[in-house]
A and B are shown apart, each in its own frame.
Chain A
């Protein structure tokens, strides 16, 4: 590359550079069963934000496990996690990732 930043691995091969695209990690938190949580991160205002949901300790063959809903609002700054309407929700890991686009 003619300009930019390249980061090399200890073996000399290229590890990361400004030719790459990435997702940065904003936060990880665990939401208890049936809980509603709203977290705001001002540093990601206007960025593209995704929130991955991963069920925790699910007994997959013994019950209905409803994942909570996730809503991204407030110019992408606020992540709200809440049970689906009229349903209980299971414990869930939320991983918030952001990308400058």
Chain B
């Protein structure tokens, strides 16, 4: 290079120069609310009622530029992902979903932006590197630069997010008003592991987008015929029970592993029962429904994605 600044690391790779901006820590996003739900199917009690549950924590941070967010779990046993990121003026909002229903131990969200968009500081010492235009910063030592510890390509999670073998479907031939879920919709065994020596359960944090989504449903149709005296006045009785779950991709840090898996985001249970009118005997029935299945059963956005690991303790 004819002029400017360039710093290479011990491997001879450029980590600071005057053409590409470094990412700098600007602070932790502030948690404002949480919403906990779906530890089981609403309105249903019976076999396979239990779900993984989820809590959605909402965080905000104000900054110029687009922040790169890292999730630092407080409870490393739980699955985490950012499911939504939006901006109003310069205030960014993150919705962070974690598995389970306890609102205790929310994760921390560490935010980084490009050097030229870091907030001003009163520090009067340090080192700033500018681009050739003399005004755009690529590096500012007064704000902590991002140093990574690991990362790579996170494969998509398994297409089937449910612990039971195979995806659930529809069956007929059940007795009238039958409603007993025979599919385990939890996701604890459905993940893809990535070996990464930087992954730990003490200070590691990660940045990785949640792309994959899935919806699956178990449906059971019941039927009986009842007839009056001497086989006259027969009635058809029908019932339908269905359980559906919507999933979002989520991630987990273990010692030596970064896992790409699933957590249920929403769920519902519906039951309906009917019979023909005009028969000899009335047939009791009814209906129950919670929520609407967002789309037909499938898995979408099943793609690999880059992930980055860093040491959160550097920024505390």
B14 at the interface (CB under 8 A from A): yes
Q: Which of A58-101 contact B (CB under 8 A)?
A: 58, 60-67, 69, 93, 95, 97-101
Partner of A20, one of B9, B23, B86: B9
B136 to chain A, nearest CB (A): 12
Whether A25 lies near B22 (C-beta < 8 A) is yes
Q: Which of B50-79 contact A (CB under 8 A)?
A: 65-66, 68
Whether A25 lies near B114 (C-beta < 8 A) is yes
Mark contacts of A17-31 with chain B using CB atoms, 8 A cut-off: 1 yes-contact digit, 0 otherwise.
Answer: 011111111101000
Contacts of A99 in B (CB 8 A): 13
User: What are 13 inter-chain pairs, A to B, with CB distance below 8 A?
Assistant: A10-B142, A15-B141, A21-B11, A22-B23, A22-B148, A24-B22, A25-B20, A28-B65, A52-B208, A58-B83, A60-B213, A65-B300, A95-B66
B195 at the interface (CB under 8 A from A): no
Name which residue of chain B comes closest to A10, CB basis.
B123
B241 at the interface (CB under 8 A from A): no
Name which residue of chain B comes closest to A94, CB basis.
B66
Whether A19 lies near B21 (C-beta < 8 A) is no
B63 to chain A, nearest CB (A): 12
Whether A61 lies near B68 (C-beta < 8 A) is no
Whether A19 lies near B10 (C-beta < 8 A) is yes
Mark contacts of B1-16 with chain A using CB atoms, 8 A cut-off: 1 yes-contact digit, 0 otherwise.
Answer: 0000001111101111
Contacts of B266 in A (CB 8 A): 60-61
Whether B265 lies near A25 (C-beta < 8 A) is no
| Assembled-state Cα–Cα distance A52/B14 (Å) | 21
Using known A-B contacts A61-B265, A63-B294, determine if residue A54 contacts B10 with beta carbons closer than 8 Å. no
Whether B294 lies near A15 (C-beta < 8 A) is no
B315 to chain A, nearest CB (A): 9
Using known A-B contacts A50-B306, A60-B265, determine if residue A9 contacts B144 with beta carbons closer than 8 Å. yes
Contacts of B123 in A (CB 8 A): 10
Using known A-B contacts A22-B22, A26-B20, A58-B84, determine if residue A64 contacts B295 with beta carbons closer than 8 Å. yes
| Assembled-state Cα–Cα distance A54/B88 (Å) | 16
Whether B82 lies near A54 (C-beta < 8 A) is yes
Mark contacts of B76-114 with chain A using CB atoms, 8 A cut-off: 1 yes-contact digit, 0 otherwise.
Answer: 000000111110000000000000000000000000001
Contacts of A32 in B (CB 8 A): none
B95 to chain A, nearest CB (A): 9
Size class of the contact patch on chain A? 35 or more
Name which residue of chain A comes closest to B293, CB basis.
A61
Q: Which residues of B line the A interface, CB within 8 A?
A: 7-11, 13-16, 19-23, 65-66, 68, 82-86, 114, 123, 126-127, 141-142, 144-149, 207-209, 211, 213, 246, 248, 265-266, 291, 294-295, 300-301, 303, 305-306, 308, 314
Whether B83 lies near A60 (C-beta < 8 A) is yes
Partner of B145, one of A15, A50, A54, A62: A15
Whether B84 lies near A16 (C-beta < 8 A) is no
| Assembled-state Cα–Cα distance A58/B149 (Å) | 31
Contacts of B295 in A (CB 8 A): 63-64
B106 to chain A, nearest CB (A): 19
B157 to chain A, nearest CB (A): 14
A49 to chain B, nearest CB (A): 9
New contact pairs (10) apart from A21-B148, A64-B295, CB-CB < 8 Å: A7-B141, A16-B144, A20-B15, A21-B149, A22-B148, A53-B305, A55-B209, A65-B300, A69-B303, A100-B14
Whether A24 lies near B8 (C-beta < 8 A) is no
Whether A5 lies near B7 (C-beta < 8 A) is yes
Whether A7 lies near B213 (C-beta < 8 A) is no
